[in-house]
Amino acid sequence: MEPKKKLLAFDIDRTLSPPKQPITEDIAGLLIPCLDYFEVCAISGQRFEQFKIQVIGPLQNTSPSQLRHLHLLPAQGTQYYRYSASTQKWIQMYSHTLADDKVARIFKILEYAARETGYWEEDKLADGDCIIENRLSQVTFSGVGQKATAAAKSAWDPDCKKREAIVEICRELEPEFNYAIGGATSIDTTVSGMNKGSGLQNLLFELGMEKEDILFFGDMTQPGGNDYSVIQADMDTITVRSPEDTAYALRGILGLYGIL
């Protein structure tokens, strides 16, 4: 049976891996055969450097011909990287970089809102860490910083209430920007109209596909979550809560088409 979908797209944290951790052997073992039958995309609010750790590293034994079918969309899809078999390097295809004045405004409103709600917690940062990070085409707030342990991240805002309070103030005072709750502690901020949904729409255009060709896997698909824009873009979506959920769904799909 021929697969009906041409592109499988995945959020990373809590979808392909625990927050900030490399994808598991189980997930890697499922993604590699996918590359022979589908275009595969990983999309996240992380920097490209983090994609190297979480996605590229665990797939290091994948062949160059397979990697040509892997598409990486950092910073909520505002950047696009693709593998070049000729140079054996990852090439940035585009980046919608934020202007300096917008970066400054986002930094200011995120810090103000976090302080106003009582959730600016510098005392919890590891040495050399920061709460707000410029990712060039996106600015990201991380409640306990980038270097916090997975346990500390999971414990900080498990029900998203802290980040919802911060976002409410941000949207009231700086409505020009898009604020999306993601991962365990993050608020990913981009210019309005730039989100995972638009990032995947741009990828579909690059690949000459239609939205009917994509199947997306993500955990933050509720309103306000950073995967919700994919649902708003009317793309077929499977909501998962863990890499184990994703593995279960993938096995079913690959088994249906006789790939496993």
> What whole-number distance in Å separates Cα of residue 14 and Cα of residue 19?
6
d(CA 69, CA 65): 8
Q: 84, 88, 87, 79: which is closest to 49 by C-alpha?
A: 79
Fold of 7-96+194-256: Rossmann fold (3.40.50)
Q: Which DSSP letter does residue 119 get?
A: -
pLDDT at 2: 67
What is the predicted pLDDT for the residue at 36?
Answer: 94
Instruction: Check for a shared fold between 7-96+194-256 and 100-191.
Output: no
CB 55, CB 13: distance < 8 Å:
no
Give me the tens of pLDDT residue by residue for the chain, a chain 260 residues long: 667 899 999 999 999 999 889 998 999 999 999 999 999 999 999 999 999 999 999 998 899 999 999 999 999 999 999 999 999 999 999 999 999 999 999 999 999 999 999 999 999 898 999 999 999 999 999 999 988 988 999 999 999 999 999 999 999 999 999 999 988 899 999 998 899 999 999 999 999 999 999 999 999 999 988 999 999 999 999 999 999 999 999 999 999 888 87
Residue ranges covered by each domain of the chain: 7-96+194-256, 100-191
Which of 84, 70, 101 minimizes the C-alpha distance to 191? Answer: 101
Task: Tell the CATH topology of 100-191.
Answer: 3.30.1240
CA distance 106 to 193: 15
Q: For the whole model, what pTM was predicted?
A: 0.87
Q: Annotate 231-247 with b (16+ C-beta within 10 A) or e (fewer).
A: bebebebbbbeebebbb
